[in-house]
Structure 1
């Protein structure tokens, strides 16, 4: 199969799987549903991806890259380190208020993944460590990078509390606490 066609198939399958994994969960999404809804023939899907978990790994990688870029872009719109960190929370506030928001993709997947699945766990940790690193990087110019872990925990806690309460107040509360910390 030519590389261009394989990339097109991969893109189509990942776009379909991403939508399904995010909306209905990994465990509730079967490979046959991905094949059917993507319109890609089964043999081509299995040429591009050996397993459903390979599709999941690509989903986590592409979603992670998009999330990292969105958080960095939000921070880049501000000038001071404090404003940059708070802008990440503002981005999160906007995100959780979206009609098609079903929670953090990575926390959703981790809740469905056995802890023994080191391949998936490692990819999720990589993305989450990237968020921790972003906070440290944003705070470095004012010598407060040691607060990165505290801010990261508030960020993650806000995501979880938002999922539980289906409300924006956990993220707004975390942002207020972060503002006081910095």
Structure 2
């Protein structure tokens, strides 16, 4: 930790854990690695988070905020409801091309811990439901049927998984093209 880093311990710990979890997975990262990455002494780490589970949940909430801000920024400049829906896939394309992309942190964490941690499973499900509601709002603005929202959200989720597994960002463009067909068909 540099002498000029005045961010609160909790913030530094969450950001450090997020970087480590993203790069190596949740289960392979111990609290000592988070301490070393953040520069926060172990005693203060445990004062901020009484357990690794608490830290994992804080990272998921942090990721939710980052996701929501990214989606909102991507859709804000679109001038029509249709463009706002398609901007979701443009956001995915940009994210998939970033150096740190390792797939959806929610899906990855659910895969590691969802079967053993009800809190993680609930947090991931809540984030996915929130995204589906967001897409449903965009579809409603478009005047499309409710089923379209579920289809478009599923395309976005599938694109995330495909891009991570294949290591190719083109999944976003394929999902966007499929979304255009679905939107046009639903509104015809």
TM-score by length of 1: 0.92
Unaligned runs of 5+ in 1: 1-6
**8 Å Cα contact 1:22-1:102 kept in structure 2:** yes
Unaligned runs of 5+ in 2: 1-6, 184-188
Greater Cα shift, 53-62 or 134-143: 134-143
1:1-182, aligned counterparts within 5 Å?
A: 8-146=8-146, 147-182=148-183
The SS at the match of 2:122 is helix
> Whole-Å Cα distance in 1 between the matches of residues 91 and 58 of structure 2?
24
Offset, 1:145: 4.8
TM-score by length of 2: 0.89
Hey, which bits of structure 1, 4+ residues long, moved more than 2 A? Answer: none
**8 Å Cα contact 1:22-1:105 kept in structure 2:** yes
Aligned alpha-carbon RMSD (Å): 1.3
Offset, 1:105: 1.0
How many residues in Structure 1 have an aligned counterpart in Structure 2?
Answer: 176
> Whole-Å Cα distance in 2 between the matches of residues 126 and 79 of structure 1?
29
> Whole-Å Cα distance in 2 between the matches of residues 145 and 122 of structure 1?
28
